[in-house]
Structure 1
Amino acid sequence: MQLKLISGFCDRLIVSAILLCFALFVGIGIALAQERSIEPMFLEIDKKYQIPEGWSILPFELEDPYKRVKNGPILANVTHKANIEWISRWIANPKEVISNAKMPDLGLEFDEIKAVIVYLGSIADDGLSKVKWDEYLLKREDDMTDEEYDKMDQIFQMGKGVWGRARCTICHPVKGLGGNVGVGPDLGSIVTKVNRDWLYDWLANTKMHFPDTLMAQFRFSDEEIRGLVEYVMRDTQFMPEEEYEDEGEDGQDGGTPKTIEETKFLTNAEYSTIKGDSALISKGKEVVERSRCFVCHDIKGLSELMPVVERNREKLEGFEKVLYEIRCLTCHTIQKKGGTYAPNLTEAGTKMKMDWENEFLKAPDIIRPLSQQMPKFNLTGEDATFATEFMEKYLTNKKLPSGIFDNEKPSQEVVEAGKNLFYDKGCNACHAEGTKGGGVVGPNLGTVGDRLQPAYMFHHLKNPILVNPRAIEPNYALSDQEIKSLVGFLIDHVKGKEGN
């Protein structure tokens, strides 16, 4: 009897195990056959708790320009962009041509370099669109009449002003000077590289040539672009130094540094005789594949080796479009994405007064030391409104204090106490405050009352390094009353205030 019970129990146990395995098998099959679905609500909750408390959830995914799949420019039309001799010297030894070049020396033989250039020519579009220039602008200055020279000089001087307002030297060094952001090539010998038609085309639409470029799409007018081209193609700072000039073939293209004078290079004349050679095209493609050029560059016909998922940016609108076209995140950070050269914008809506910000974006004024001034991008009123409305709604910190001088002006006693504190602590060593002068390490505080919200000033002064880990401003461990006095003194600095 006992054996029967045990036997029956075992039978039932085996059947149950079989049924359980079957159920698991069916369940796994369903799971494998169907894509796992996650409720959007859970995704939002997950996203919310992945960002620091106090930050807003943004309505779109920020594109970090430093997280590009490929760092080099597209090579489809490089033979239209650059002089053939320049390309030849560049491939042979990039750092001899541009000191801050990121491209490695591939150690190619001259025959391989020649084949690569012929291959790159074979994948180029039929031709670069021609720009109509006044005839005298295509002349050497010595060949111009006095009247032509004067007209050229007017355009040149206008372009020089555009260069200054656009703050080009923030990103581009020229003969080793400038380039603080560290993202642009040295332009010290650019006249030996590019032709004026391509330069015009690039300045008119940078994103068409290189969608992932870190360079902003400035809103230049046709006149401004022509002026900038004239300035770049004629000013001596963009030409090789005289003592380095190579007195080679007809003295064309401004010459080349003596340090690479012995380098064998492909001339325009020789290129024209071998252009389209099918054997060289095939060899050049093989060299490009072997050298893995496609790791950094998009190259027509080689995408299958390292495919790139292209972003569809045609439907961008509002501030997302401005962010992409102006490349704000090349210099600024938003929620840990972007550059660190300019102020962090993550809490800009809590920090800045939006009326001031709107006007500043359209015509940036001098706030920080000259090398850190924001370029004039020629933003439209609509662009500026997109930016300020986004900042006010999304770039905020709900944890910041509020109610500090919101509906009241600081008394004269508070202002005076703050003034004494400002000078006692030596704040003027780094900050100028209007016409009274001071240091230039930190922003000028002459109109800080127009620019910053009082609550943000309080938050900043409480612990500058907590607000900005890169700040060099000391933490004076001020009491709340001292900070309030200092804020009262600072918000008294507004545009048109007598004595500021």
Structure 2
Amino acid sequence: MKATRLLSALTVLIASALNAQAADLLSQQCVSCHAISKPADTSLERMLGRGGPDLYYAGNKFNKAWLQAWLQNPTVLRPGGVMYAKTVKAGADRTVDTIDASKVPAHPKLSAADAAVAADLLMALKVDGLVTPGAFKNEPPNSMAPMLFSKLRGCTSCHTAKQGGSATSGPELYSAGDRLQPDFVYAFTKDPQKFDAHTWMPTLGLTDSDLQKITGHIATLKTSEKK
């Protein structure tokens, strides 16, 4: 019995230490750029001034395995940075915009241990009712989905779906199948303003059928299977 009580007490102490480590990690390295709780200020000015995307619903959004790996070796997800308007500049011929890469901040790398702790805490950040579990039906891939994604709905005008693509105003989607939970993709595509009233991604008024097709296509866009 004494050994059992000792083990239980030790487990509580370890859990408390990990929680404190995680909280300290987020307070030191994350909150300077990211909101990890829903901000009281939802104005356009706050959005324009933030240093990174909001993370208070990270647990509704990301796949944990991807998040833990990315924190150790961050790659550029938004070619134009979190605020595209701050980094874009006119091209030499004035017809094509380019990105001033010097204005896109690099994300700090975390150790494997810190990344594991941060991923655990970030995945616990969820907002009830923001994403409906099971909204994406995971139906077999539809042959029309790529055309719907790229041409009929124009997703590739803002998001690049292939490495080396030219779209820069939105986050890349060629790793979205690794990065994002399909139910989040469905919910965000359906109503972006539900997540951020000032996001410039439009509400397209898609039917559920089209939402299922586009979500299903995005779920296939992965870099992990190419390694």
Return the TM-score normalized by structure 2.
Answer: 0.70
Distance 1:445 1:370 in 2: 14
The answer for the alignment partner of 2:61 in structure 1 is 351
The answer for the alignment partner of 2:39 in structure 1 is 336
The answer for the alignment partner of 1:463 in structure 2 is 191
- Residue deviations 1:214-268 (CA, integer Å, cap 9, x gap): xxxxxxxxxxxxxxxxxxxxxxxxxxxxxxxxxxxxxxxxxxxxxxxxxxxxxxx
Larger Rg: 1
Distance 2:140 2:114 in 1: 38
Residues 1:361 and 2:71 aligned together: yes
Identical-pair percentage: 25
- How many Å apart are 1:427 and its aligned residue? 1.3
Alignment of 1:4-403 (within 5 A): 317-326=20-29, 328-334=30-36, 335-336=38-39, 340-372=50-82, 375-393=106-124, 395-399=125-129, 400-403=131-134
Q: Is 2:159–2:168's contact at 8 Å kept on the other side of the alignment?
A: yes
- How many Å apart are 1:462 and its aligned residue? 1.1
Match of 1:420 among 117, 138, 147: 147
Alignment of 1:411-450 (within 5 A): 411-412=140-141, 414=142, 416-422=143-149, 423-435=151-163, 437-450=165-178
Q: Is 1:403–1:455's contact at 8 Å kept on the other side of the alignment?
A: yes
- How many Å apart are 1:369 and its aligned residue? 1.6
Q: Is 1:432–1:438's contact at 8 Å kept on the other side of the alignment?
A: yes
The answer for the alignment partner of 1:486 in structure 2 is 214
Q: In structure 2, what residue type is equivalent to 1:444?
A: E
- Give the superposed CA RMSD: 2.3
Q: Is 2:178–2:224's contact at 8 Å kept on the other side of the alignment?
A: no
Q: Relative to 1, partners in 2 of residues 1:353 and 1:429: Cα closer, same or farther, differing over 3 Å?
A: same
Higher helix share: 1
Q: In structure 2, what residue type is equivalent to 1:333?
A: A
- How many Å apart are 1:438 and its aligned residue? 4.2
Q: Relative to 1, partners in 2 of residues 1:378 and 1:445: Cα closer, same or farther, differing over 3 Å?
A: closer
- Residue deviations 1:359-388 (CA, integer Å, cap 9, x gap): 111111121025445634231112111111
- Residue deviations 1:180-234 (CA, integer Å, cap 9, x gap): xxxxxxxxxxxxxxxxxxxxxxxxxxxxxxxxxxxxxxxxxxxxxxxxxxxxxxx
Q: Relative to 1, partners in 2 of residues 1:455 and 1:417: Cα closer, same or farther, differing over 3 Å?
A: same
Distance 1:318 1:374 in 2: 25
Q: Relative to 1, partners in 2 of residues 1:484 and 1:374: Cα closer, same or farther, differing over 3 Å?
A: farther
- Residue deviations 1:146-167 (CA, integer Å, cap 9, x gap): xxxxxxxxxxxxxxxxxxxxxx
Q: Relative to 1, partners in 2 of residues 1:417 and 1:374: Cα closer, same or farther, differing over 3 Å?
A: farther
Q: In structure 2, what residue type is equivalent to 1:482?
A: D
Distance 1:465 1:456 in 2: 13
- Residue deviations 1:390-424 (CA, integer Å, cap 9, x gap): 1222x112312112457x5x423x2x322122121
Unpaired runs of 5+ in structure 1? 1-315
- How many Å apart are 1:459 and its aligned residue? 0.7
Q: Is 1:331–1:341's contact at 8 Å kept on the other side of the alignment?
A: yes
Distance 2:20 2:105 in 1: 23
- How many Å apart are 1:469 and its aligned residue? 1.9
Q: Relative to 1, partners in 2 of residues 1:348 and 1:421: Cα closer, same or farther, differing over 3 Å?
A: same
The answer for the alignment partner of 2:9 in structure 1 is none
Distance 1:391 1:452 in 2: 14
Q: Is 2:74–2:109's contact at 8 Å kept on the other side of the alignment?
A: no
Aligned length: 177
Unpaired runs of 5+ in structure 2? 1-18, 41-45, 83-103
The answer for the alignment partner of 1:66 in structure 2 is none
Distance 2:224 2:62 in 1: 19
SS at 1:357's partner residue? helix
Q: Is 1:350–1:397's contact at 8 Å kept on the other side of the alignment?
A: yes
Distance 1:380 1:488 in 2: 33
Q: Displaced runs of 4+ in structure 1, greater than 2 A?
A: 337-341, 370-378, 435-438
- How many Å apart are 1:324 and its aligned residue? 2.6
- How many Å apart are 1:446 and its aligned residue? 0.6
Q: Relative to 1, partners in 2 of residues 1:418 and 1:397: Cα closer, same or farther, differing over 3 Å?
A: farther
